[in-house]
């Protein structure tokens, strides 16, 4: 059970969140709703990150899952592990993500994203070699989107962890737009 009670957003904010999430309000939404402007703004930001970026779905879910591991955000892992497999991440890769700092996953593009995610999450600053490795695989626009995805899901996971939201608090229905 989270450290704070749930709240309900205004009707218009609740409608926008439910539209993005396929009809549900998650525990995250209900905590954000203690401030309606925060809930609305968060929904707009995460809606853009999840639905309006050009990076592939598997890359996005790889980032989200890696951030969840690095920040011990079990709710986030549980909310996205099935999406990761749906978008093509295999079980062996997911196991590597949970084990620590994977390298040599067999996917050089994934390795570059994982290294970037790890450095942004753990150290905030990113080394030049790690950044240059991204350029091998991604355009400048995609690098901006990767960076925004990592930053956004660090925000999500840190909010969830600080407020004590765990995997057991998840809704039984998982929307592909979570």
Asked if 104 contacts 111 with a C-beta cutoff of 8 angstroms, the reply is yes
Query: Which residue ranges make up each domain of the chain?
Result: 57-162
User: CATH code for 57-162?
Assistant: 1.20.1290.10
3-state secondary structure the chain: CCCCCCCCCCHHHHHHHHHHHCCCCCHHHHHHCCCHHHHHHHHHHHHHHHHCCCCCHHHHHHHHHHHHHHCCCHHHHHHHHHHHHHCCCCHHHHHHHHHCCCCCCCCHHHHHHHHHHHHHHHCCCCCHHHHHHHHCCCCHHHHHHHHHHHHHHHHHHHHHHHCCCCHHHCCCCCCCCC
Question: What confidence tens digit (pLDDT) does each residue in 113-158 have?
Answer: 999 999 999 999 999 999 999 999 999 999 999 999 999 999 999 9
Question: What confidence tens digit (pLDDT) does each residue in 86-109 have?
Answer: 999 999 999 888 887 666 788 999
Confidence (pLDDT) at 63: 97
Confidence (pLDDT) at 28: 95
Those residues whose C-beta lies under 8 Å from the C-beta of residue 117, and which sit 6 or more positions away, are 62, 63, 66, 67, 70, 150
pLDDT band at 8 (very low <50, low <70, confident <90, very high): confident
Confidence (pLDDT) at 174: 41
Q: What CA–CA distance (Å, rounded) separates 52 from 103?
A: 29
Q: Structure tokens of 87?
A: 């978008």
- Please tell me the total number of residues recorded for the chain in this structure: 178
Question: What confidence tens digit (pLDDT) does each residue in 38-92 have?
Answer: 999 999 999 999 999 999 999 999 999 999 999 999 999 999 999 999 999 999 9
Q: Given a cut of 60, is residue 177 above it in pLDDT?
A: no
Confidence (pLDDT) at 176: 45
**Residue 128: C-alpha distances to residues 47, 116, 125, 132 (Å):** 30, 10, 10, 6
Asked if 3 contacts 30 with a C-beta cutoff of 8 angstroms, the reply is no
Confidence (pLDDT) at 175: 43
């Amino acid at each position: 059970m989270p450290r704070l009670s749930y709240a309900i957003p205004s009707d218009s904010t609740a409608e926008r969140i439910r539209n993005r999430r396929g009809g549900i309000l998650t525990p995250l939404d209900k905590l954000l709703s203690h401030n309606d402007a925060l809930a609305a703004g968060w929904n707009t930001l995460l809606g853009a990150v999840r639905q309006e970026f050009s990076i592939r779905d598997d890359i996005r879910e790889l980032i989200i899952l890696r951030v969840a591991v690095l920040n011990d955000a079990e709710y986030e892992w549980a909310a996205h592990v099935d999406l990761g497999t749906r978008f093509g991440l295999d079980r062996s890769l997911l196991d590597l993500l949970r084990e620590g700092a994977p390298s040599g996953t067999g996917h050089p593009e994934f390795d570059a994203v994982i290294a970037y995610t790890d450095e942004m999450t753990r150290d905030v600053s990113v080394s030049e070699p790690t950044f240059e490795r991204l350029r091998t695989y991604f355009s400048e626009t995609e690098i901006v989107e990767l960076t925004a995805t990592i930053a956004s899901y660090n925000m999500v996971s840190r909010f969830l962890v600080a407020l004590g939201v765990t995997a057991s608090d998840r809704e039984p229905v998982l929307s592909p737009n979570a």
